[in-house]
Structure 1
Amino acid sequence: MEAPEVEYAEVARAESERGELVLRERRPVDGGPTSLELRANGIFVMDTVEVSTERAMAHAALALVDGPRAVLIGGLGLGHTMHEVLADSRVEKCAVVEIEPALVEWMRAGLVPDGPTLLADERVTVVEADIVAAMAEAHEASYDLVLLDVDNGPGYLVHAANAALYEAPALTDARRILRPGGALVVWSADESPELEESLRSVFSEVRPDRHDVQLHDRDEHYWLYVARP
């Protein structure tokens, strides 16, 4: 079956030292439902059509610990992971680290559905910073969960400098800031033996989970890498 013909309308655009960030609306020509798409330097990052893996990331992480009181999310995206985390009444604190100020501004301005409501939640703190630096500066045993959804995975980097996030020093910081019984979950668009190897060099328990989804009428699968000290 052929994919429906679509048109795109730019919603917002920003430039930074990392390049171009574009939020655009996807409009089916046949009048079907519209959706939003986020691109960085021309690379597809995520959209509002297929969000099951972002939600699965949150659910999988929240199920790992008995008391997920404090959660750190690396990557704001379009807010779907944060939305699911905040839906859990056990969560008392949700810190979101996002390197692109424009994306935070678009959320606050309501260009992303539910953005203002999500960021107004009193449990939310947004930090505009590199997640690698933020984890290095965080106090030991600060979080019950650390969720990393910064790229399309280590094999599909949005920015080349992000490679450091999937290497032992940054992963060691992720382990250091976890409370006893805590867990790290990393989202990846594809299976990554290299990431699994790096995780196993730092964490005693590592489990790759495959999630099958449909993306624009195509069968796809994504991966969640779960690691525990």
Structure 2
Amino acid sequence: MITRFEELDWQPTPMGDLTLRRRAEPAVGREIYEVKLGEEYLMSSLFTVAEEELATLGLAALDRDDLVVLVGGLGLGYTALTALRDPRVRSLEVIDALPAVIGWHRRKLLPTSAELVDDPRTTLTHGDFFAVMRAAPGDEGRRFDAILLDVDHSPRHQLDPSHADLYDAAGLRALDRHLTPGGVFALWSDDPPDAEFMVALDAVFDHGAAHVVDFDNPITGGVSSNSVYVGVSRG
């Protein structure tokens, strides 16, 4: 069978050519959306369970209302949209380094886009999430009840080497300054739980946990898994 692809957008970026495409997937009998950076697959709408669980598990660790949430990495929008569906969320900001990705959603090219961008609680920001986390909170002292991060493949496998410093204890302490007391940091990873990263997480946060998220893989006919790390700020 010849698989037919429809290229919805292509743009050069400092990290390589970024492509959004749509194709039929016979294994599930529906269209799926895929993002490639150079020759590397970044994400697919065929596998969204763990991205959704990033928001679900992160926000579940908060016993409060009126939540201010920051998402690092917009992607196909499933983490942000799942967070918005929590009625406790008052505002949601998403930071993405690639203006093309923000443009896809503003043009409503993806299945999540309309619900995401039409929600008045949503702010889409073009910026470097990692630079924002390194910097001290601004003069207004804005802090977040939850920071949900899905940019790199894992703490060990980054899309860009400049991201690496976030994943040690010093980088996590810098991120923690942007959380409210008792706020939550949650991180998606394509790899199994990493004992070395858990040491750094536990050095900074309380109740550190690595959740294994299993999901059916219609391509292999088996079960695949991702990880979601969650830590609670000590304030």
Question: Residues of 2 paired with 1:208 and 1:31: CA distance?
Answer: 29
Greater shift in the superposed pair: 101-110 or 170-179: 170-179
2:153 equivalent in structure 1: 152
Q: Structure 1, residues 160-184: CA drift from partner, whole Å, max 9, x if none? A: 3222332333311221111122111
Number of matched pairs: 226
Give the superposed CA RMSD. Answer: 2.1
Whole-Å Cα distance in 2 between the matches of residues 64 and 30 of structure 1?
35
Question: Hey, what does 1:165 align to over in structure 2?
Answer: 166
Give the stretch that moved more between structures: 156-165 or 80-89.
156-165
Q: Which one of 107, 110, 115 corresponds to residue 109 of structure 1?
A: 107
Of 175, 200, 211 in structure 1, the residue corresponding to residue 202 of structure 2 is: 200
Which residue in 1 is equivalent to 2:25?
28
**Structure 2: which amino acid aligns with 1:133?**
A
Matches within 5 A, 1:1-229: 6-28=3-25, 32-67=29-64, 69-135=67-133, 136-139=135-138, 140=141, 142-191=143-192, 192-215=194-217, 216=219, 217-229=221-233
Deviates further, 69-78 or 58-67:
58-67
- The answer to whether the 8 A contact 2:81-2:115 is kept is no
- Give the gaps of 5 or more residues in structure 1: none
Counterpart-to-counterpart distance in 1, 2:215 and 2:15: 30
Contact 1:7 1:29 (8 Å CA) reproduced: no
Per-residue deviation at 1:5? 6.6
**Greater Cα offset, 213-222 or 142-151:** 213-222
Answer yes or no: is the 8 Å Cα contact 1:5–1:28 preserved in 2. no
SS of residue paired to 1:49: coil
Q: Any conservation in 2 of the 1:5–1:30 contact (CA below 8 Å)?
A: no
Query: In 1, Cα distance between the equivalents of 2:41 and 2:86?
Result: 29
Contact residue 205 and residue 232 of structure 2 kept, 8 A: yes
* Matched-pair contact (CA < 8 Å) for 2:76–2:112: no
Amino acid in structure 2 at the alignment position of 1:74: G
How far apart in 2 are the matches of 1:30 and 1:89?
34
Whole-Å Cα distance in 2 between the matches of residues 142 and 210 of structure 1? Answer: 28
Distance 1:211 1:25 in 2: 26
Which region of structure 1 is more displaced relative to structure 2, 117-126 or 92-101? 117-126
TM-score between the two structures when normalised by the length of structure 1: 0.90
Equivalents in 2 of 1:13, 1:210: separation in Å? Answer: 33
Point out 4+ residue stretches in structure 1 off by more than 3 angstroms: 4-7, 28-31, 137-141
1:13 offset after TM fit, Å? Answer: 0.9
Identical positions, percent: 31
Q: CA deviation at 1:141?
A: 6.2
CA distance in 2, matches of 1:31, 1:178: 40
In terms of mean alpha carbon deviation, does 80-89 or 114-123 score higher?
Answer: 114-123
